[in-house]
Structure 1
Amino acid sequence: MRNRVGAGVAAVLVLGAVAACGGEGLRVSTAPETGDLTVCVGDRPVDSLPDRDDGTPLMRVVVHVDELVEKRYAAVYTGLSVDEDGSAADIWRIPSEAFDTAVCEAAVKGVTLRLHDTDVNEGRLINLSDRIVDDMKRWEGSFDLREVGPDERGFVVVGVDDPDKAEPILKKAYGEWDARHIRVEYVDQAELTDTV
């Protein structure tokens, strides 16, 4: 099971109107096929990190990474997803030796961290996502904006009724740099259902 954590977890749903690594005790490798992936496999004792709510080694590491980002590394952090079945986490970040070292040093026995390169941080993705939502009235009559949210892999997902029509409009509206970080895809119209 894979879970997205951080910016990718909660896309803003629009319904109708608003309807490298260093440290001891870990193995590091770079995947030759991509060149932008660093893998850290920890073998530090699990109790080297504070116990967390569910106490799993993976969740201890994930919470520790979140704390590192909050305290010092927000400028390079893009997002994270969790692979519970594989006891691994994928972390996207702007390459940073200091961040990679701090994150990889947190890897405990049985946990694998895969660090992926991006060129954008989470804050900039959230800002772009917010701008697209704020401009919602601008798109009326062109396409239906149904979902907007940052993705931890380094882009903003924009769900619409007609991607072929919406994509060139959106990419032109936000300039070349931001356009590279917009992914437009088809999303069904959300419907309210009665739950008993």
Structure 2
Amino acid sequence: MDYRSLAAGTAAAAAVVGLALYVDASEKGHADVDVVSTAPETCAGGRPGSGVDEEGTDDTPLYRTIARIDELAAGRHADVFTGLAVDEDRDAADVWRIPSAAFDAAVCDLAEKGVTVRLHDADANRAELDALADRIGEDMNRWNGTFQLREVGVDEHGYVSVGVDDPEVARPLIEDAFGDEHIRVEHVEQAGLD
């Protein structure tokens, strides 16, 4: 699937030592992701579209729906929202959240006609994941000489991705320090200066 990133807001955390420590987390929780989930709940938008977004500019039903989901997720439902990805090819939004009938109903009610919303289960909200990513990133010098911590970011599926040079060495140390819940330690290449 070809997903378009909606990098809105500011980065949740960033630190640079050597060439890179990259935090791929945005305030709104949008990212390029591959959807890997079993049978998400879906709803089809029925709200009539205006052809003009709230700022008065032309927009698409999908992006007006995304803007409304952002507002909802930042407000009264922040405690259940995990992340969001956009599937432009299918006019769909993939939303990861802690299951909540109220949130699901609100999201489905605001989706415009022609937009599909796919709801995926997660067991942590975005604020919890951002806080975990911040703690791991702030403690990066702890590993000097053991392994290279290259990037830390929140994945919209509901976990913190920790990119290192040697996952076999890093995984037990990171899990010992931060637990193994909501953390995936993976190999990433060192970022180059362009």
Does the alignment pair 1:90 with 2:91? no
- Give the 3 Å change call, closer, same or farther, for CA 164–189 of structure 1 in structure 2: same
Structure 2 CA distance for aligned equivalents of residues 135 and 76 of structure 1: 27
Match of 1:113 among 100, 106, 117: 117
Match of 2:44 among 32, 37, 41: 41
CA contact (8 A) 2:98 2:124 kept: yes
CA contact (8 A) 2:51 2:61 kept: no
CA contact (8 A) 1:14 1:148 kept: no
Residue of structure 2 equivalent to 1:186 = 187
Q: Which amino acid aligns with 1:92?
A: W
Structure 1 CA distance for aligned equivalents of residues 177 and 72 of structure 2: 35
Structure 2 CA distance for aligned equivalents of residues 136 and 17 of structure 1: 12
Q: How many residues align?
A: 175
Residue correspondence of structure 1 range 25-64 to structure 2 within 5 A: 34=38, 37-47=40-50, 50-51=53-54, 53=57, 55-64=59-68
Q: Indicate the structure with greater strand content.
A: 1
CA contact (8 A) 1:14 1:146 kept: no
- Describe the superposition over 1:130-165 as per-residue Cα deviations: whole angstroms up to 9, x where unpaired: 000111111111110001011111000111100111
Does the alignment pair 1:149 with 2:153? yes
Residue of structure 2 equivalent to 1:137 = 141
Structure 1: which 5+ runs fail to align? Answer: 20-32
- The TM-score with structure 2 as length reference comes to 0.81
DSSP 3-state at the match of 2:50: helix
Q: CA RMSD in A?
A: 2.4
Measured after TM superposition, the shift of residue 71 of structure 1 is 2.0
Structure 1 CA distance for aligned equivalents of residues 129 and 62 of structure 2: 26
Structure 2: which 5+ runs fail to align? Answer: 21-36
- Give the 3 Å change call, closer, same or farther, for CA 79–4 of structure 1 in structure 2: farther
- Give the 3 Å change call, closer, same or farther, for CA 95–49 of structure 1 in structure 2: farther
Q: Indicate the structure with greater helix content.
A: 1
Q: If you compute each CA radius of gyration, which structure gives the higher value, 1 or 2?
A: 1
- The TM-score with structure 1 as length reference comes to 0.80
Identity %: 52
Measured after TM superposition, the shift of residue 174 of structure 1 is 1.1
